[in-house]
Structure 1
Amino acid sequence: MRPVDLAREHGLSTQAVRNYEDAGILPPAGRTVHGYRVYTPLHAHALRAFLALAPGHGHRTATAIMQAVNRAAVQEALLLIDESHGRLLDDRRTLRAVEAALRDLAPVPQERGDTFIGPLAGRLGVRPATLRKWENAGLVRPRRDPRTGYRIYDPADVRDVRLVHQLRRGGYLLEQIAPLIAQVRAAGGVAPLESALRDWQARLSARGRAMLAGAAGLEAYLGARDL
């Protein structure tokens, strides 16, 4: 098989196929007496496996998985897959935490008393500089002590900080979070956040199904290597 034969099946360029080989995604190709690459059905299995793995695991992890398989380090490849599934599980748990935070958006905040930036940052496991960044982005609006100038976070501020924290963990950018927080502050403004959570859930489900497809593609490649 020529590079173009592999490329055509997937709508790739021949250069992309050569790049995948150079990156270790495909096993080394044979060469003709004139130095041209010669691919086999095994290379076709490898390319299909990589393209199946990438949507669920991401390009970098899919590359590392294929590199490990191609150097006969299958256990390393399986560990990478397990770690990727672990990250998906963490993201699902984060989503549930955000959904719980949304349910806690009661008219009367559950938090009691005011707090300062250091203790609040410590409770969330972030740096005070992160809270200041969120404030500069308009996501949080603590008042200032008129005497000391210290930031004071009331219960509603703490609620907003927790929501921002959870949404950041879910992969949302600050500019995406800003309108959600603004709506949360407004009466009856939770609908946009609920929509974002539905979108987040859909993306996690798509990722999980893509991982299943990737597993099937990799299993087919491993089986071809064993022949």
Structure 2
Amino acid sequence: MKSNILAWLEEGNITIPSILLSEYRNLNLNETELVLLLNILTFIEKGNEFPTPEELSARMTVSILECNEMLRRLIQRGFIEIIDQYSNDGIRFEKYTVKPLWEKLIDLFMINNNAAKAMDKKTDETDLYTCFENEFGRPLSPFECESLGMWMDDDHHDPMIIKAALRESVMSGKLNFRYIDRILFEWKKNGIKTIEQAKNHGRKFRQKQTQKVITKDENHQPTVPFYNWLEQ
């Protein structure tokens, strides 16, 4: 009994990327082809880098002929490759590589990731337009929509930073696109890229502007009831 358990442990384990199990059908692989690839991986893991159709078939419910045909199709479709290797003695031998499979999985992952980012970006942009229309209390003009698009596409401002600039303009009592554009320009010039940095910079700016107002008041000059980023 103990020797059986020991033999079972000595069989070892194989590490399988979970994305292979979740996405194999999107690679147009069926379950039988997946199991064949997993068996190839197992053989490679154990040091047999070129298992025969007979060895692979013995682990599956397909015949040697079917196994051989599946191997041929997987090679043609670019999931596995047979490459030449040479031993230290200069003897040529062949082995399987599953590198093409990993490359396909990476490509699929990047496509899915980019699609998710594009969806998030579209959602953020829609939300951004809604925020502006709510603050302005009206639909945006074509020029204003174009300005928003330029801030994101040309100036590469994050939608959250643009929202922060919108809030800053509201607090300053200057709700217009020229004023918001100036805020974004100043933030970019000062390396402001996060909401926290924007808050800190805005806080310092308002303190500075408040001090100016106090100084003017002490000199009996008219005070300005808002913070003017256009004076930067």
What TM-score, normalized by structure 2, do the two folds share?
A: 0.28
- Which of the two has higher C-alpha Rg? 2
Structure with the bigger RCO (C-alpha within 8 Å, sep 6+) is 1
